[in-house]
Amino acid sequence: MNTDHDIPKLNRHQWEGASEATPTHETLTSRVWYLRSIDNNGEPIHEQRVEYLPGSPFPPTHYHPDQDEHFEVEQGEMLFVIDGTERVLGVGDTIEIPRGTRHKAKNASSTDSAVVRWETRPALRTTAFFTAAARLGDNAGPLDSAFLAREYRDVFVTTGFIGLLVPVVSRIARMLGRTLPPPT
């Protein structure tokens, strides 16, 4: 399991200053800005803004064992699937996803971008998880994705058939010498 050395060493002011600058990381289907790591009461939080490009895919259905999430749509429309129920949210709409709730979300449009701001509380290793996923990049295959999911199962647990495969495939990845890319 990875340790805290994977967490980017950014203080609250650096994150807030980065919110309007270059994205923290980009993929073929999204741009991500880390915004805050500490809330106004000094509690750990992972807050980020994500622009999902048109046609972005769903992540695997997952849940967070010990964290709650709050989403607010700032632009476009987002399609959420929560415990199997679909819900489309538009600009200004918010949704709370309690810990342990199976969910996934994506841009609802194939032609326009969608922007969502979300908070994960408490932060735990969420920043390290997203940073490791970004370091793997768009070409991460099933071995790398399973290894990532297994290493960060304290903050991100895949469900369904994929969730059943993660322990087996990640074990194969480890036997083949796979590791997560080092922090930059």
Q: What is the pLDDT of residues 77-136, one digit of tens each?
A: 999 999 999 999 999 999 999 999 999 999 999 999 999 999 999 999 999 999 898 888
pLDDT of 183 strictly over 70? no
Structure pTM?
0.83
With respect to residue 134, please indicate whether it lies within any of the assigned structural domains. yes
Which of the residue ranges 57-71, 82-96, 167-181 would you say has the lowest mean pLDDT?
167-181
With respect to residue 167, please indicate whether it lies within any of the assigned structural domains. yes
With respect to residue 74, please indicate whether it lies within any of the assigned structural domains. yes
- What is the residue-averaged pLDDT of the chain? 87
3-state percent breakdown (helix, strand, coil) of the chain, nearest 5: 25, 30, 40
How would you list the strands of the sheet with 85-89, edge to edge?
A: 85-89, 78-82, 103-107, 62-63, 157-158
Domain residues for the domain of 140 are: 7-175
Report the C-alpha gap between 79 and 159 in whole angstroms: 19
Cα angle 14, 19, 25; round to 5: 95
With respect to residue 180, please indicate whether it lies within any of the assigned structural domains. no
pLDDT of 182 strictly over 80? no
Q: CATH no. for residue 171? A: 2.60.120.10
With respect to residue 103, please indicate whether it lies within any of the assigned structural domains. yes
Split into its structural domains, the chain has a count of: 1
Burial 67-79 (b: 16+ CB within 10 A, else e): bebebbbeebebb
With respect to residue 2, please indicate whether it lies within any of the assigned structural domains. no
Report the C-alpha gap between 116 and 118 in whole angstroms: 6
Provide long-range contacts, Cβ within 8 A and 24+ apart, for 18-22: 19/49
